[in-house]
A and B are shown apart, each in its own frame.
Chain A
């Protein structure tokens, strides 16, 4: 951390009460007037940004265990967000069993979750954000949502994202951008955007030339941009430009078939041109980017593009409690990431004067559902959304002795259940499940409900498949995904985690080049995978064309119904080479 950021961080800790951190935290607050006892953030400067990102449609409070493995190499070795577990606690001087330690790390997770309860939930978020906006001044506050808002829960799928459009309208979001929003059909997306009270912006989505020729709609026919690239917002006496950056690899990591007319990319040259144009035309007092690039991609973009004051980023689900400064040709851009699943609200206060951001305060504010009272209107709304499906959603499918979670570079325990289910139900040698970063946690002793299962599988291309593949194919798939995660160039990283596997063991050396990372492929029986032999592979979520099997939640529901109780879950983790001293892995949790 730079000295500036250390100071920033100490400020945040003072906000969160440091020594007396949530001292009275065992008592739920019912009076909004007392909110400042806990969320005693001081107002600073003359413009406040509230930042939520990657809530993945989690209207209800959740458990979400932060990763125990989030590796960084080379220039990102030991840099946020590639610091996890005890390394994180040490780096930021937080104690393991504090509320901050619970919110931001995986350490002593089960005990802490029982003590501090669930986080997030839209009714709780609304209470907090209304408070943060009201205490600072509505006319000076802007609420930005970084996307991955319309997907991730059963109800978001059933309503095709409409439940979330209603929720963020009620929440009072001002500006948003997207990623999983683009996994609905083009027509549905455009209708949802129309129903939004907020601006939906993206500078890096273009209508393909062929589609334009055939009469496809574009926001701007001169530039070919599919959406409004930026908006100007009045914040007190200042005019601030907010530029949108959608997830650049949407058409590679997710299906193109739903949005055949649109083309994505990082588009740093176009971003620079746009910034220069805004500076000349609009003369803004500050330039903010609401981004779905992912943390390391945002850092590189901040280095190659100049003129941005802050990037409020998302996609990689990183809870980073500081604004990271990045130098570029004309100054410094700060990069922020505000976690996921409604766990956090990033609060960025700027002191703007003479068309310059003179100083700032950033606070990564956890949303503790046991402290924050529910906003009655939002509570009612969420209940209304869930009511038609409530019996199905709350249905227990099985119980578990193990903590179930997904997030981390390699298999999480909930992924393991999905992989085990695919293998068993479909009679396959090997199974694969995508390395998504969404998916909530289930505590030991709790029931796994249909709601929980959908939080790990709910999406528009859930179909399963079984196919014969060669050993060589398996190797190619693993290498390809590993390169999306560990490529040295952040612009080639897609921001997902490693593909989850069942029935397969392998060695991975993340620092090697593509084609050389994965070795020692074996079936779980111990038999070596041979390049030319055929194996039966089961999986789901095909990006190319739709598969024909049942949705994966049916496969897993069947499996859970047969097993009734999950215990002694055997987590398949590859043998990871060269990470002994890497702060991006909490090795104490990987001992057998």
Chain B
């Protein structure tokens, strides 16, 4: 499939997924405070009741080493876990670190791409909640520069 068409389709899928969240797990509805927390650990604890995570390769996070534009950093999140329940994306350096929460439905392919705004250099984390409620984490530092002098 041509990438252009695929991207178009991607946007449509996202819209459908958002609708599907109604009536099942709903992080925004159930844990509204998490989105207002100022510390990453608080947000994780508010949603999951714990900050204990496994650092394995089940959660996957793709980000640039250095952001081309801190205002729109491309990120792709995915998990190899079957029947994962939720995924949350946390930007440590932002005033409100919890950026995105995905409530996964049965049959959803758990791979999403979006853009995030990063205030400064820092870690970005993806937390995946598996079918048993255990948490898996991927973490990556992204550098946001004030402007280069390379050459």
Contact = CB atoms under 8 A, between A and B. Distances in A.
A102 interface: no
A535 interface: no
B149 A434 contact: yes
Contact of A480 (B2, B68, B69, B145): B145
A213 B148 contact: no
Nearest to A148: B151
A551 interface: no
Interface in A459-492: 476-477, 480-481, 483-484, 489, 491-492
Interface string B90-113: 000000000000000000000001
A438 B3 contact: no
A465 to B, nearest CB: 12
Interface stretch (A22-30, A136-144, A249-257, A522-530): A249-257
B151 A481 contact: no
A476 B150 CA distance: 16
Q: Taking chain B's interface residues, is the majority helix, strand, or loop, or is none over half, making it mixed?
A: loop
> How many of chain A's residues touch chain B, expressed as a range?
35 or more
Interface string A207-218: 001001100001
A436 interface: yes
Interface string B131-150: 00000000000010111111
Interface in A484-511: 484, 489, 491-492, 494-496, 499
Nearest to A477: B146
Contacts of A541: 149
> How many of chain B's residues touch chain A, expressed as a range?
20 to 34
Nearest to B69: A256
Nearest to A263: B68
Contacts of A124: none
B149 A253 contact: yes
A437 interface: yes
B8 A213 contact: yes
Interface string A245-280: 001010111101000000111100000000000000
B29 interface: no
B64 A265 contact: yes
Interface in A259-316: 263-266
Interface in A61-79: none
B64 to A, nearest CB: 5
Given A213-B4, A224-B3, A492-B143, A252 B66 contact: yes
Contacts of A436: 149, 151
Interface string A401-435: 00000000000000000000000000000000011
Contact of B151 (A180, A222, A514, A542): A180
A231 to B, nearest CB: 22
Contacts of A438: 151
A492 B67 CA distance: 11
Interface string B60-96: 0000111111000010000000000000000000000
B148 A543 contact: yes
B19 interface: no
Contacts of A377: none
User: Which 5 pairs across A and B sit closest by C-beta, in order of nearness?
Assistant: A253-B150, A253-B148, A496-B150, A434-B149, A494-B150
Interface of B: 1-4, 7-8, 64-69, 74, 113, 121, 143, 145-151
12 contacts: A179-B151, A180-B151, A249-B66, A254-B148, A266-B65, A434-B149, A436-B151, A437-B151, A492-B66, A494-B150, A496-B151, A514-B121
Interface of A: 179-180, 209, 212-213, 218, 221-224, 247, 249, 251-254, 256, 263-266, 434-438, 476-477, 480-481, 483-484, 489, 491-492, 494-496, 499, 514, 541-544
